[in-house]
């Protein structure tokens, strides 16, 4: 009979994490976001029970802080107890947000189906099914908030089988690591993990789900990502992996979406809109389209309006865009627009301006020069900012991408007598 195991690879639950960067939340949405992360954790547990998996892995940062509240402790334990009642073992490690030392008061409360790995070195546990050893889980947790040492050092298939005194069909490694992407959070390398002989590496810390190698037939290393997005940078599906390892068959990973509130950044072209009502309609359609793609109950969206439109002057009127955002949020309570951003332009005839050869033509030439000589523009801005005792923003490269176009548009509008500041 072919050996086969299935398990849930989860991590970065971040119970107790705040939702960042939001403004003007209604009481309803404030309450909704308070419940979102605990609900995502519950869905991870639900997925394990519904699929009847062999075990569950939590790859660190179960809590967002080293001092979680009683309520978050209790909620986490209740999920583990549900897994115990379903006779599903749980293996977990500490992450940089909740390092191992801070679990001292909670470790003794963990149900008997849970094994928490330490942080001083690699730990190994044999998973048995029907009294037979089927897999070894090799793992190591975070000892403190930051470390630059290789957290995977010494973790190999050979070391795991030697430590446990058995040979098994499968050896699964689990770490909370930034790999090469975060050198201060327990770094290691893909090459080291591949060379270890493990059948699968369940990783936590990076909040985006992805696999290594990206285009290979078989995944050996994967980040599950966080279970629920917490800010506008964490867009798209969030959840966990259901992993199947079978002898002679490539590893199979199924992504399971667990979030109940989706974050999205949307760009809406309003160049064909005739009025404010059309703009609102375009925004609503964009949000419904995005929500349909992920099939999530509720969504927070940051909407950027783009396109050349005669409505640009109206949209640039102080306070106008905020009123539109309020109207948008009142219409559809399942969606929350946290920001409505105007990046529209006026439908100015630049070709005609260039042909006329007047001052506007000179302005357009200078604007094109600034846009094409990015480094010179940055150096110019550095001098101007320094003369005023200011520092350039850290993300000046990205900010500059659209700044030249917006400055050009504003200058042309002023020359046209449309003082849209």
C-alpha distances in angstroms, 305 versus 57, 131, 276, 375? 42, 61, 12, 28
Mean pLDDT value across the chain: 89
- What domain range includes position 125? 4-258
Q: What residues form DSSP beta bridges with 93?
A: 59
Residues 213 and 327 in one domain: no
Radius of gyration of the chain (CA): 26
% the chain with pLDDT above 90: 58
Q: Strand pairing partners for 128?
A: 133
Q: Is 349 exposed, middle or buried (0-12, 13-18, 19+ CB in 10 A)?
A: exposed
- Chain segment 175-225, per-residue pLDDT in tens: 998 887 666 666 788 888 999 999 999 999 999 888 887 666 689 999 999
Asked if residue 144 and residue 117 are part of one domain, the reply reads yes
pLDDT per residue as tens digits for the range 396-411: 776 676 677 778 777 8
Report residue 320 CA to chain centroid gap.
32
Co-location of 343 and 359 in the same domain: no
Tens of pLDDT, residue by residue over 130-151, are 999 999 999 999 887 666 677 8
Q: Using 50, 70 and 90 to split pLDDT, how confident is the model at 420?
A: very low
178 and 81 part of one domain: yes
pLDDT digits (tens, 9 = 90+) for 345-384: 888 777 777 887 778 888 888 888 877 787 888 888 888 8
| Length of the chain as a residue count | 421
- Which of 382-395 are b and which e, b meaning 16 or more Cβ less than 10 Å from the residue's Cβ? eeeeeeeeeeeeee
Structure confidence by residue, pLDDT tens digits, 35-94:
999 999 999 999 999 999 999 999 999 999 988 999 999 999 999 999 999 999 999 999
Q: Assign residue 9 the CATH number of its domain.
A: 3.60.21.10
Strand-pairing partners, residue 244, are 6, 252
Q: Do 218 and 75 reside in the same domain of the chain?
A: yes
Q: Is the pLDDT of residue 155 over 60?
A: yes
pLDDT of 2 over the 90 cut = no
Last residue of a domain, one of 347, 370, 392: 347
pLDDT band at 421 (very low <50, low <70, confident <90, very high): very low
d(CA 277, CA 280): 5
Q: What is the DSSP letter of 101?
A: G
Burial grade of 164 (CB within 10 A; 0-12, 13-18, 19 or more):
middle
- 301 with 159, same domain: the answer is no
What is the per-residue pLDDT for 365? 87
Pair 179, 89 in one domain: yes
Q: Do both 320 and 376 map to the same domain?
A: no
Torsions phi, psi for 53 (to 5 deg): -70, 165
**Res 300: pLDDT:** 93
> In terms of domains, do 312 and 208 share one?
no
Q: What is the mean pLDDT of residues 23-46?
A: 91
* H helices present in 86-210, as ranges: 104-107, 157-164, 190-195
Long-range contacts of 251-254 (CB under 8 A, 24+ apart): 251/199, 251/200, 251/218, 251/219, 251/220, 253/211, 253/219, 253/222
Kindly state whether residues 64 and 135 are assigned to the same domain.
yes
Tell me: the pLDDT tens digits for 101-128? 889 889 999 999 999 999 989 999 999 9
Same domain, 239 and 271: no
Distances (CA, A) of 218 to 149, 211, 213, 248: 28, 10, 8, 11
Residue 417, pLDDT > 70, answer no
Contact 340, 319 (CB under 8 A): no
- End residue of a domain, out of 347, 372, 393: 347
CA–CA gap between residue 316 and residue 313 (Å, rounded):
5
Supply the pLDDT for residue 86. 98
Binned at pLDDT 50, 70 and 90, residue 419 comes out as: very low
247 and 119 co-located in one domain: yes
pTM for the model stands at 0.83
Domain count, the chain: 3
Q: Could you say which of 258, 274, 301 is where a domain stops? A: 258
């Amino acid at each position: 009979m072919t050996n086969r195991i299935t398990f849930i690879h989860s991590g970065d639950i971040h119970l107790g994490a705040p939702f960042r960067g939001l403004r003007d939340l209604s009481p309803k949405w404030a309450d909704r976001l308070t419940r979102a992360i605990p609900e995502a954790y519950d869905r991870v547990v639900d997925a394990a029970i519904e699929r009847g998996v062999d075990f569950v892995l939590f790859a660190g940062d179960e809590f967002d802080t080293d001092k979680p509240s009683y309520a978050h402790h209790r909620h986490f334990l209740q999920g583990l107890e549900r897994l115990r009642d379903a006779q599903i073992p749980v293996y977990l490690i500490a992450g940089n947000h909740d390092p191992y030392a801070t679990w001292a008061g909670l470790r003794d409360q963990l149900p008997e189906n849970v094994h928490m790995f330490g942080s001083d070195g690699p730990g190994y546990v044999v998973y048995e099914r029907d009294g037979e050893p089927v897999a070894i889980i090799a793992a190591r947790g975070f000892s403190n908030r930051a470390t630059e040492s290789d957290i995977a050092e010494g973790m190999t298939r050979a070391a795991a089988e030697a430590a446990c005194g058995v040979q098994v069909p499968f050896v699964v490694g689990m770490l909370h690591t930034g790999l090469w992407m975060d050198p201060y959070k327990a770094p290691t390398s893909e090459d080291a993990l591949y060379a270890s002989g493990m059948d699968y590496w369940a990783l936590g810390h990076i909040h985006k789900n992805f696999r290594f190698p990206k285009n290979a037939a078989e995944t050996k290393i994967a980040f599950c990502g966080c279970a629920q997005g917490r800010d506008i940078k964490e867009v798209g599906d969030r959840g966990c992996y259901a992993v199947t390892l079978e002898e002679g068959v490539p590893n199979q990973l199924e992504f399971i979406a667990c979030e109940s509130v989706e974050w999205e950044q949307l760009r809406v072209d309003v160049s064909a809109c005739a009025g404010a009502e059309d703009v609102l309609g375009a925004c609503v359609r964009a949000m419904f389209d995005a929500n349909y793609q992920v099939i999530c109950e509720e969504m927070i969206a940051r909407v950027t309006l783009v396109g050349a439109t005669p409505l640009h002057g109206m949209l640039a009127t102080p306070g106008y865009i905020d009123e539109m955002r309020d109207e948008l949020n009142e219409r559809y309570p399942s969606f929350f627009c946290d920001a409505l951003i105007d990046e529209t332009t006026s439908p100015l005839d630049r070709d005609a301006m260039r042909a006329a050869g007047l001052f506007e033509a000179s302005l357009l030439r200078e604007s094109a020069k600034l846009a094409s000589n990015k480094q010179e523009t940055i150096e110019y801005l550095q001098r101007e900012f320094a003369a005023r005792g200011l520092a350039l923003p850290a993300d000046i490269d990205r900010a500059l991408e659209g700044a030249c176009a917006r400055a050009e548009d504003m200058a042309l509008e002023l020359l046209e007598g449309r003082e849209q500041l």
